[in-house]
Structure 1
């Protein structure tokens, strides 16, 4: 159990009192901050076996997958395991109407059948370091937020150069606790990643949007890729000469099963949390930011579904975009519901009263009023901004013309020799940008999303190009008809016959430039508000640390590698639902079959899986009751970006993949709820069952080390 002092601190931090499950901890600080607690919960490893710079450790088996998910190495030949939804877009991109790997699944029988995934990379953490004292000493002379930002940027550039003298790595300096601490991270990126296999989406995405964020789940949410390197084991662009990567460390898979109370840790790359957000900030989220986000997302989803239902090629090309829209659409709905139901704002207000009492006679006495003023002044701005974001997030015609148009203008301004030098690379960029664009889809997205934006925003705040078009009383989709950015063919024709005037007068180019300019715009008033807010938020967190100087704080997630730890645990307060999760911490194939609906978009299943169930042909992957486990619960602290993260037992062995949170605790990014918050994991036994029994892939199994 955590020490009483830590519990007291985190109560004050507007969090439910923390046990072992709360907190996203930096790897290099585990020994100093958490090791004793982790041992008490069941950890058998040393800190050096978890994080080491000079020796093989768990960190070397964990990768950032594509920059938005997490993956883990499970063989000495570079096999990467991650979630199905993390590989979803890549699998869709590799699919065709004739070979739909997304719908039907795929498994390579050997390395020759592995498929190169375009624009996918994995990132290894080499090492990290604390540069807080170095940067903070320089910040003492900063008088403004602008000067502060300039100092941080300048010193960060120096730190990056110091740690990457041979340009072998990617070095990033990140701020923590809203700019009170700073750490650098040295990464190595591998870009030749090949698709090995995944179950059909009816297994990997079973339950669809209906079951998303819900427990009980019956989803086999996994996919597998392989990392390739040059003959020296170094990163290289795709080549037939590349060989499977030999990792410093790979995970052993434990198929012995789990039970309540078993130690668990999740290591991965969580995206963002806002555990130190004030009550004013939370109110802005649920009243001004999330509602327009939800409305715009649903509008885009409806447009996409109409086109996807009628055309298989469109369905594959827009599968990733639709899945992302649907995921965050439901997430934001759940966030609002959970924040209200779990009385998060009320809890925050109580803690802010305590802060106000402490800060009354300090330099922090104006912090809360500054935070309150910032949110009052920006509520309407953020509301309009989210409708604008909805346009840009959904419609490629709202974004691509600006970037591509500038590239075309640069190309046009070159002499003949200069154009010839740029031409092939420019055409390559065009092909990449337009690979998934269908004009009829993009026109409808533009029309519907801009239409919503116009209705919801003060007309005086609309870009001039939109106001001009409103006066013409024509549909916005007609802008594309008169634009060279309507299609790849029109742009290639322009490249062969350049004329700068065509770009300058192009209606989509003008609109796109206006939208992006408005989104990036910060007037002097808003800039002052931002500066005041950043200072106030930084002081707020620092004030909490001063109030409780002997307490351990953990930083918000910011896409850097973190470790969370906890146990396998039931969800006692889960509402009664028809399911097979009698013990409420795991589900089985029996429950999946019970949900099965033939030809249903969300609950259909392959006949082969049904046949395996009827024969009870589970191999060595059944539990002691003869059931085949699919998913299980733990109380690890996760968020977006943790998808695909390994859930590991006390001996450092892989027992599953984290893939979701639960509806009852959707407010967890803001306030961790120790009673309700759970991590939903795909059981590693189900993964291996699909590989062995469904696909019969003995070659893959030979690479993987398992233990009971």
Structure 2
């Protein structure tokens, strides 16, 4: 366990404590004070200024948030972008057709003129951040209700965002940390002209499929490539043939040296969400109520989708991204149930909370903290059934377009037709865009079957908490089987297809929307999602305040050793080492921290959806034609392990050595450490990465796109 002396800094209640270098998602602006000395001991050769600088180019300038949900990195002076295959999946599927299936067969642009623009894709560059905790918290007091508190905070946030946007040049986001005990603002610049440069075939980029997802050993080439374009002055611009590749402030050089056990490794990225401060009863609620409902609902939706996807290549392309996302979270939630149960996380947290409660009820602390744990525990006891209900309902809305689309589109049309003619002309492009969003990847027979199945499941399993009066009535009338009801509703509905919506708009009768049977069900479900009783509002209000005070009190009392804020899609740095897992007979590697092409070929199943391998790749492997990308020991590396602390949103993040050179791309975690969003397990938690040598070998040798590799900067001082 490593020792780090935390400097006392404004807004942070930090005390000198022991931390593990591999645990923590750290703000870049505090690297010098909190982490730099420790990182140097582990192998970092960069200054903190080379990692994060406002006035000069630094590593931060090469890291982008990719389309709002993943991370990517700039790897050339012409803004070549590298991210995961699964991050680019939706864009690749959108650009594909049954005749030219880039998702299945791969794609490599022969030059910049062949690069392809998806309809909607952007990258976000991080410019700077700062602490505004004192300013925001000066606007609130303990006597306020949570609603009034939030209103005051949002008013101040709006001012801060306006002050720092420079007239709209930048996107500014103020975010809460430590459960609303601190606030920071982040300044970004968005580029919307992002084009596909290359992708390996799905049999490489998604090798192992759902079977290997969250598993180790792994042999997945999970990468894809894009390019950022700007106007001639380097400013963000909408797509135009006149745009040119962006000249980035910084891009990452590539290391071909490879990795060894205990090598330093750091990852910069945009982790989406962790809940390390979640109370014990919140974890128990997830294990017993929320996650089982999520798992069951997601699996039902996947199974119904798969039937139609397997029958038709066009349908498969339409639903590939949705299915993959559903499958990923389905396995994640089941893994969370298993891991949190096995690790005894609830018991660990309960012991910690008992210690905190003892401190909280000391005379000097009782007024502020005495009732915190009782309030929190009471909240979870009263919301367990709601949690189960809400997760069944959320999976209905996520997997069945008929669950949400008729209400969203119907309400939009009602607003549209209530406007005057001039306003309608202004709103029409947005209406058409929504119609295209709903029906652009839509197959009615599939949607109908998924909707029937999810309604049957929800009306059965969600009834313990309570259905809406209308849903209870429909359930009783249909004896719990919505097959006939949905079939009839679809046959009569405006929202059954894009064509029927457009036909309605040619001769609109507004009353037909509110009378529409699909709109009626969808709107009822949407209303149920948003519904909150006065009692629930009071529970939420008390819980939010108690949770905030629990975090404040645990930090003040040092009951919790956590000194970094939970992830919330803001740029973070995590550092650790290349680190193996115990020897596994399924892995041919000498040390269980990497995998090889030999191991990949052992998994090969000709024609199999998950484990097929392209013929050319097999030929190259047979000939040992690995070029400069082979390890010095002679094998072709594929994936490797580090002990970095990451979560969803880090997908596509660069894995860097101590010099700031790219050695891999993070793409997954291991199932044994899947509870890491809640509690970090130093022994088990690992990050699974694509070795950059495998990436370049696929581009160069397999795809024959050496011109793309030539665009990158290979560090020549550490070649094999």
TM-score by length of 2: 0.94
Question: How many Å apart are 1:183 and its aligned residue?
Answer: 0.3
Compared with structure 1, are the counterparts of its residues 141 and 471 closer, same or farther at alpha carbon in structure 2 (3 Å cutoff)?
Answer: closer
- From 605, 612, 615, the counterpart of 1:597: 605
Per the alignment, in what secondary structure is the counterpart of residue 138 of structure 2?
A: helix
Partner of 2:679: 671
SS at 2:72 equivalent? strand
- Is residue 2:435 matched to residue 1:410? no
2:567 and 2:345 mapped to 1: Cα distance? 19
Deviations along 1:588-612, whole A, 9 cap, x unmatched? 1110001101111110000000000
Shift of 1:411: 2.9
Measured in 1, the distance between the counterparts of 2:674 and 2:65 equals: 24
Three-state SS of the structure 2 residue aligned to 1:408 is helix
CA gap of 1:455–1:664, structure 2 versus 1, over 3 A, is same
Distance (Å, rounded) in 2 between the aligned partners of 1:646 and 1:451: 44
State the distance in 2 between where 1:106 and 1:133 align. 51
CA distance 1:421–1:160, change in 2 (3 Å): closer
State the Cα distance separating 1:142 from its structure 2 match.
4.8
Q: Distance in 2 between matches of 1:639 and 1:427?
A: 36
Mapped partners of 1:549, 1:300: distance in 2: 42
| CA–CA distance in structure 1, aligned partners of residues 433 and 457 of structure 2 | 34
Matches within 5 A, 1:446-525: 446-458=451-463, 461-473=466-478, 474-525=484-535
Q: Show structure 1 runs of 5+ residues with no match.
A: 7-12
Match of 1:397 among 377, 395, 402: 402
Shift of residue 5, structure 1, vs aligned partner: 7.8
CA distance in 1, matches of 2:384, 2:18: 31
- 1:2 is aligned to 2
Q: Distance in 2 between matches of 1:464 and 1:499?
A: 27
In 1: Cα distance, 2:209 partner to 2:588 partner: 19
Deviation at 1:401, TM superposition (A): 1.4
Offset of residue 415 of structure 1: 4.9
- The match for 2:385 among 340, 364, 380 is 380
Pick from 606, 628, 632 the counterpart of residue 624 of structure 1: 632
* Larger mean Cα displacement after TM superposition, 433-442 or 508-517: 508-517
Asked if structure 2 preserves the Cα contact closer than 8 Å seen for 1:631 and 1:682, the reply is yes
The structure 2 residue matched to 1:700, chosen from 703, 708, 711, is 708
* Alpha-carbon distance in structure 1 between the residues aligned to 2:422 and 2:199: 47
Q: 1:414 to 1:687 in 2, by over 3 A?
A: same
Please name the residue that 2:11 is paired with.
Answer: none
Report the counterpart of residue 333 of structure 1 in structure 2: 334
- Tell me by how many angstroms 1:671 deviates: 0.6
2:10 is matched with which residue? Answer: none
- Structure 2 counterparts to residues 605-684 of structure 1, below 5 A: 605-684=613-692
**Using a 3 Å threshold, how does the CA distance of structure 1 residues 502 and 699 change in structure 2: closer, same or farther?**
same
The CA distance in 1 between the partners of 2:285 and 2:561, in whole Å, is: 30
Match of 1:32 in 2: 33
Deviates more, 1:276-285 or 1:509-518: 509-518
Please give the secondary structure, in 1, of the residue aligned with 2:40. helix
The whole-number CA distance in structure 2 between the counterparts of 1:477 and 1:269 is 43
Matches within 5 A, 1:151-550: 151-361=152-362, 362-363=365-366, 364-415=369-420, 419-420=424-425, 422-458=427-463, 461-473=466-478, 474-548=484-558
Partner of 2:129: 128
Q: Per-residue displacement from partner, 1:27-46 (whole Å, max 9, x unpaired)?
A: 11111111111111111111
Residues 417/67 of structure 1: CA separation in 2 closer, same or farther (3 Å cut) = closer
Q: Secondary structure at the match of 1:578?
A: coil
| Rounded Cα–Cα distance in structure 2 between residues aligned with 1:581 and 1:259 | 12
How far apart, in 2, do the equivalents of 1:275 and 1:125 lie? Answer: 25
In the TM superposition, residue 464 of structure 1 has moved relative to its aligned partner by: 3.8
Asked whether the equivalents of residues 265 and 649 of structure 1 are also in contact (C-alpha less than 8 Å), the reply is yes
Measure how far apart 1:699 and its partner are.
1.8
- Deviation per residue, 1:470-528 (Å, 9 max, x gap): 34433324322211111010111111111101111111112222111111112111111
Whole-angstrom distance in 1 between the partners of 2:391 and 2:247: 45
- 1:17 and 1:204 map into 2 onto residues whose CA distance is 39
Note the C-alpha offset of 1:368.
1.3
Alpha-carbon distance, 1:548 to partner: 2.8
Between the aligned partners of 1:108 and 1:196, the Cα distance in structure 2 is: 5
State the alpha-carbon separation in 1 of the partners of residues 422 and 264 from structure 2: 65
Query: Is this contact kept in 2: 1:138–1:151, CA < 8 A?
Result: yes
Once the two structures are TM-superposed, the CA of residue 532 in structure 1 deviates from its matched residue by: 1.2
Task: Report the number of matched residues.
Answer: 698
Contact 1:469 / 1:476 at 8 angstroms: preserved in 2?
A: no
Deviation at 1:535, TM superposition (A): 1.1
Following the alignment from structure 2 to structure 1, what is the Cα–Cα distance between the partners of residues 470 and 277?
40
**Does the 8 A contact of 2:270 with 2:649 survive in 1?**
yes
Structure 2: gaps spanning 5 or more residues: 7-13, 479-483
How far apart are 1:367 and its partner, in Å?
A: 1.4
Aligned mates of 1:549, 1:378 — CA distance in 2 = 26
Cα distance 1:701–1:81, how it changes in 2: closer, same or farther (>3 A)? same
Cα deviation digits, residues 517-544 of structure 1 (max 9, x gap):
1111121111111111111111111111
Cα RMSD after superposing both structures: 1.8
Q: Given the two structures, how large is their TM-score scaled by the length of structure 1?
A: 0.96
CA distance in 2, matches of 1:167, 1:422: 22
